[in-house]
Every structure is written in C-alpha cells, then in structure tokens.
Amino acid sequence: MPEAVIIIGATSDIARATAMELSQEYDLILVGRNEVELEAIANDLAIRFDCNVTTRPFNARDLSTHQDLISDCFEQAELIAGAIVCHGFLPEQTQAQREWDLAHKTLEVNFTSCVSILEPLMARFEEQQYGFLAVISSVAGDRGRQSNYIYGAAKGGLTTYLQGLRNRGFKSGVHVMTVKPGFVSTAMTVGIVDPKSPLVATPGQVARDIYRGIRKRKNVIYSRWFWRYIMLIIRAIPEWIFKRLGL
C-alpha cells in the first residue's frame, strides 16, 4: 500500500517543487490556505505522476484547528511516511519594527504555528515508531542581523526547537531534518533578491536538496550547500566587529 506524505504550506513555491519530487514515490496530502490553488496543484500532480493527491484547508494562525487537522490526515491515509512543513511569512523589516501586528504575525507564522502543528505530528509518528519531519527554517536564524532580525528571531527559535524535537524523536525512530535555505527566488522574495545572482537558488534546487536530505536522513541541510560555509564565516565574526557591519 503506498505511503503518503503531508505537505503543509503546499502552495508555496518550494512546497510545490518538493511535491513534484515526492509524488514520484508517495501519495500526497496537500495542506494550505488557498483551497482553489491547492486543488489546481493536486490535479496537476495526480495527472502528471499518477499518484493519489488530496487536499485539506489550513490556517497557520488558527492554532485551535491544528490538532484536528493532523488527526484528519492520519485517519485519511493508511500509512503516513512523513511531513514537510513549508509555510512562512517574510515581512519588510522596518515596517515590522513600526507595526506590532506585523511583527506578531511574523513570529506567530514562522515559529508559534510551526510548534503548534509539529507537536501533534510528532506524537503521531512516535505512535507509529517511524516517520520523518522536514521543516523549513532559514539561514536568517543563524545570526541576528539588523536587516531582518524579527524574521530571523522566529527562524532562530524554530531551529532551536527542531534540535530538541530531533533529540526527542531519535529513540522512537522519528527523524527530524532542519532545512536552511539561503536566498531563494520565490513569490515571497520578489523585489528582495536578484534571481540572476549565483547566490540565489530556484525552488527546484531547494526541493532536490530536501528530497536527498530525507533519503540520507540528514539532520540539517543548507540549500544551497555553500550557505553552510557562508554562515560559518558570519557566525565566526566577533560581536564587537559584527555590530558595526551593515548586514
């Protein structure tokens, strides 16, 4: 019987590309906010890859619905192999500094909602005694920078949370992988990154890195690979120098 993978935030560019990679091996449960777009993606994948694709609505900020959503997904599929958590929100930093509602949304979507959805997922996988969780964090969480420290703080918190979740899941056979993309050319980063830059990845490149990471049971992956070394350098800069830099 084919296994299924849950993709949360399935209408994002990275999630769609990852769904294409996974649909050649798994059935899919696509979870996202825009139900019309979800159905269009599901129909396309089902036709192209001859897999079973179903959809479920999801509001990241409506935390009270997350437990029931996960229960529904596990009741729907006979076997759940894993879940990918892809949803996120990137604000304009100076605007988030001025507007608490925007800052709060940034923290809630990128951290609180992820914890809310991952706790019931982990509990279910622990019951199964196997499964994987691949969660998109960001290189922005590796060190706070004036240009995006509110978003970076949320992603930094998520990265630390995933370290603990990985530790928790080890004994029960649940593998947790932290995905740290650098610059990616997506709808969320239009006007922020230059898609022609050699430092900017495509969603397809990130998706392939995620797929390979799941297969190899990686703990942490940077996408693309060179961001591991860029961030190693950035983390190594002494604070008395770093605070003077316009990063």
How does pLDDT run across 60-81, given as a tens digit for each residue? 999 999 999 999 999 989 899 9
Helix/strand/coil for 239: helix
Residue 172 three-state SS: helix
Average pLDDT over residues 168-191: 92
pLDDT band at 181 (very low <50, low <70, confident <90, very high): very high
| Segment 88-100 mean pLDDT | 96
- Buried/exposed code over 21-39 (b: 16+ C-beta within 10 A; e: otherwise): bbbeebbbbbbbeeeeebe
Mean pLDDT, rounded, for 161-189: 95
Average pLDDT over residues 148-160: 98
Q: Copy the structure tokens of residue 53.
A: 């694709």
CATH number of the structural domain 4-242:
3.40.50.720
Residue range 7-17, pLDDT digits in tens: 999 999 999 99
Please, what is the average pLDDT of the chain? 95
In this structure, what are the phi and psi dihedrals at residue 140, rounded to the nearest 5 degrees? -60, -20
E strands, 50-192, where?
Answer: 53-57, 80-85, 131-136, 174-181
CB atoms near residue 158 (< 10 Å):
25
Domain boundaries, the chain: 4-242
pTM, rounded to two decimals: 0.95
C-alpha to C-alpha distance for 218 and 115, rounded to whole angstroms: 21
